[in-house]
Amino acid sequence: MIGHGMRVGFVCDGTLSAEQQAALTWLEEQSIDAMRVSLDEIGEVIGTCDVLWWHRDAPFEESLLSPSFTDAIDAFLANDGGLLLTLRAMAAVEAAEIDPVPPDAVGVQSVTEPTGVLWRTLYDDHPAVSDFDSIRIPVCDRGAVPTAHYESVVPAEGEVLASTVRGEQAVPNEMTVVSWNRGGGVLGVGAPLSFHEPAEPPVVGARSDLVSGCLSALDDREQPARPKTAEQLTALREAFADDPARPRYHFTPPANWLNDPNGLIRWNGRYHLFYQYNPAGPFHNTIHWGHAVSDDLLHWTDKQIALAPSPDGPDRHGCWSGCAVGDDGTPTVLYTGGNGRWQLPCLATSTDPDLQVWDKDPGNPIIEEPPWGLDLLSTEHWEVEFRDHAIWQDGETWYQLIGSGITDQGGTALLYASSDLREWEYEGPLLIGEDGPGAVWECPELLDFGDRSLLHVSNYEDVVYFIGTVDDGKFDVACRGLLDHGDFYAPQSLTDGDRHLTWGWLPETRDASAQWNAGWSGALSLPRVLSLGDDGTLRQRPAEEVDRLRQDAHPTAVPAVLEGTRHSLDEGGRTLEIELEVSLDDASTFELSVFESADRHERTAIRYTHENELVVDRSASSREGVGAADAQRMPVTPYDDSLSLRAFLDGSVIELYANDRHCLTSRVYPDADSTGISVAAEDGRASISAFEVWDLDAVITPAPQPASVPADTESQ
Ligand code: DQQ
């Protein structure tokens, strides 16, 4: 397997341990040219060895490296040499000046079942693994094995190639394989690669093939670096061009993970969308702020990452949700810095007209502790649940909401005031929920509708809204409801002239392994205009710009009256809008069935019932075991009228707007050719007064030319 003519230098860091001896014996058995190289001799093997392999099971200590080590490694790599760091040798990356962020989880793992690497789909053609028929590669099945991996931080320069698989279980946040694009390339493999421990033959074979693959890969070609520029991020999207589940006109991350929309702002005439993004794979961890811009709310262009955790900062473990304001011409974001068991508000400003580069405030965190007067909730993960920010200005005063929970009462939105966005005075809870002990309100936001306000909060399950008035720092609730009755969470709004535009996160409902296999996770809703009707109740409709996504109208001939037989449309699709108006007459149910397979075995039925309910039946939506199969329901008012429905279908998204008031979003995962549409009425007649179907267009446009992208790619 290892390429002919390659010479590997096996790095000796003192007397060889039993593990190192076993690895060296394995290397010599591979019939390749291997030689021992001491740590001090690296400068002497430049041009002699193609790849250096440092396999260290004892703890790494900086004192192992002589002052000339980094220069020697630098010269070796610059001369096209490759470097493989396995087990705890991966912990040397900081001392060797390969990456300023070393692995944060180094120790001994007790292995009791086949354990190994969970390779990222995005890199499944990497030569180290291209001969495997699976991206789950066990390399050890027993023993106490020293390892090193990234867990709560990601390398600053390196690209994560693999996480961990333990038995059948994907463990995405144990990131064990990292590549650095330095000279001939560096690969770090901190997985339990033990040559000394016995193992079953398939595991021994996989271990051997993986290490051979890594050595060959380092001999053959450069290693992937972390994609950082807008072009590199947009290029990642190509990998998913044929994925039928990937939405085309709902915003998705370039690859990897997206959750909450953040920092929505219109600046210099352009719409800016920031979002919670994990560059290390399709799972929630090491959160950065991704960034995209649009001139029309529809077509988005990727930008470089806007905020990344600072290795020594109060946001070391993540830049969590927050908002943006244009403070007297200085765009400012307020976000939650995660650091160990603490989450505290952090601020950053930008002088870049394109909002690509952000400077973190030296005074971060700008609020140093949560208010102690209240019994705020402490949980397994957090000293105090205290996060997410919404800001508005009233006269000269800025106000801020932060999400939290009061231990024995319920979720809460804490109100602060400030004159300068930096010094904040705690004013008290704006509202405390009646949702009971343990509840937390995430991402609270207050929207101003003149004589009324709307407060919405995300309580882990739903997005609850309250309509009412704010008086003396307290919210007086007149009515409440759910912003969306389905897979929609942590929304945020942008005030655009006299309209409030709201986007929500549409989380996946398939499990972590399926998300891993897909290589991407999460989408955003369409922009929704929120308003209050004359009766003071909520109205929700897609922003009118969304109509411009309509391409070809399908020739649809749907009977004006449905009774008995099901009517199938001639043409279906995966990226459509369906707009219809239907009355039940004496039928008990009208059904719009979408994403149907030819035999209708797979389908998602959207039913409008006599009980004035809209039900999305997902029991046959996806292949068995994939995605949620439960039904989602929402009451539909007004009760005595016809139903007007806009259904947006997009890969794995169904976003429904009923009567310009109620929303329900579903995530489903039909097969590629499940594109059919049919309508039916049950137990009587239903009248269809309007029925139109359009193909909709995609939303991501190519990134701008390199000339317009600053060289500095990531703010610290
Ligand atoms: N997501 C963010 C938090 C927020 C949660 C972390 C809501 O700030 O509370 O990614 O989805």
Q: Which ligand 1 atom is nearest residue 505's CA?
A: 11
Q: Would the pTM count as exceeding 0.85?
A: yes
| CB burial readout 377-412, b (16+ within 10 A) else e | beeeebebbbbbbbbbeeeeebbbbbbbbbeebbbb
Task: Give, in order, the Cα–Cα distances in Å from 470 to each of 3, 303, 430, 451, 476.
Answer: 71, 38, 8, 9, 6
Q: Which of 271, 268, 295 is nearest to 353 (CA)?
A: 268
Run means of pLDDT, 10 residues per run, the chain, 716 residues:
78 96 95 93 95 97 94 96 98 97 96 97 95 96 96 97 96 97 96 94 96 94 92 95 96 98 96 98 98 94 97 97 90 97 98 97 98 93 97 96 97 97 97 95 97 97 98 97 98 96 98 96 98 96 96 88 93 96 94 97 96 96 94 83 94 97 98 97 95 88 50 38
pLDDT at 639: 56
Eight-class DSSP state of 40: G
Q: Please give the distance, rounded to the nearest whole angstrom, from the Cα atom of residue 347 to the centre of ligand 1.
A: 17
Integer Cα distance of 518 and 520 in angstroms: 6
Catalytic site residue from 50, 99, 260, 695: 260
User: Which residues sit with their C-beta closer than 6 Å to ligand 1?
Assistant: 259-260, 276, 287, 320-321, 336, 387-388, 442-443, 458, 489-490
Q: Which ligand 1 atom is nearest residue 287's CA?
A: 10
Integer Cα distance of 161 and 126 in angstroms: 9
Eight-class DSSP state of 610: T
Residue whose CB lies within 8 A of the most ligand 1 atoms, among 344, 443, 459, 492, for a mutation test: 443
Q: Do 392 and 376 contact (CB within 8 A), yes or no?
A: no
The 3-class SS string of 363-412 reads: CCCCCCCCCCCCCECCCCCCCCCEEEEEEEEECCEEEEEEEEEECCCEEE
> 131 an active-site residue?
no
Q: Which of 176, 208, 172 is nearest to 191 (CA)?
A: 176
* Closest residue to atom 6 of ligand 1, CA basis: 320
Integer Cα distance of 526 and 550 in angstroms: 14
* Closest residue to atom 8 of ligand 1, CA basis: 321
- Residue 484 region by backbone torsions, left for phi larger than 0, else alpha for psi between -120 and 50, else beta: beta
The helix (H) or strand (E) run that includes residue 209 is helix 201-220
Residue ranges of the alpha helices (H) in 425-507?
none
Q: Please give the distance, rounded to the nearest whole angstrom, from the Cα atom of residue 309 to the centre of ligand 1.
A: 15
Q: Which ligand 1 atom is nearest residue 440's CA?
A: 9
Q: Which of 438, 445, 539 is nearest to 490 (CA)?
A: 445
Task: Tell me the sheet residues that pair with 87.
Answer: 56
Integer Cα distance of 192 and 189 in angstroms: 9
Q: Which ligand 1 atom is nearest residue 442's CA?
A: 9
Residue whose CB lies within 8 A of the most ligand 1 atoms, among 285, 320, 412, for a mutation test: 320
Q: Do 140 and 111 contact (CB within 8 A), yes or no?
A: yes
Integer Cα distance of 536 and 548 in angstroms: 29
Residue ranges of the alpha helices (H) in 284-339?
none
Q: Please give the distance, rounded to the nearest whole angstrom, from the Cα atom of residue 338 to the centre of ligand 1.
A: 11
Rg (CA), the chain: 28
Count of CA atoms in the C-beta half-sphere (13 A) of 476: 6
Q: Please give the distance, rounded to the nearest whole angstrom, from the Cα atom of residue 419 to the centre of ligand 1.
A: 27
Q: Which ligand 1 atom is nearest residue 489's CA?
A: 11
Q: Which of 474, 479, 482, 496 is nearest to 535 (CA)?
A: 479
Q: Please give the distance, rounded to the nearest whole angstrom, from the Cα atom of residue 670 to the centre of ligand 1.
A: 28
The helix (H) or strand (E) run that includes residue 645 is strand 643-650
Q: Please give the distance, rounded to the nearest whole angstrom, from the Cα atom of residue 245 to the centre of ligand 1.
A: 24
* Closest residue to atom 10 of ligand 1, CA basis: 320
Please state whether beta strands 115-119 and 136-140 pair in parallel, antiparallel, or not at all (unpaired): antiparallel
Integer Cα distance of 633 and 644 in angstroms: 16
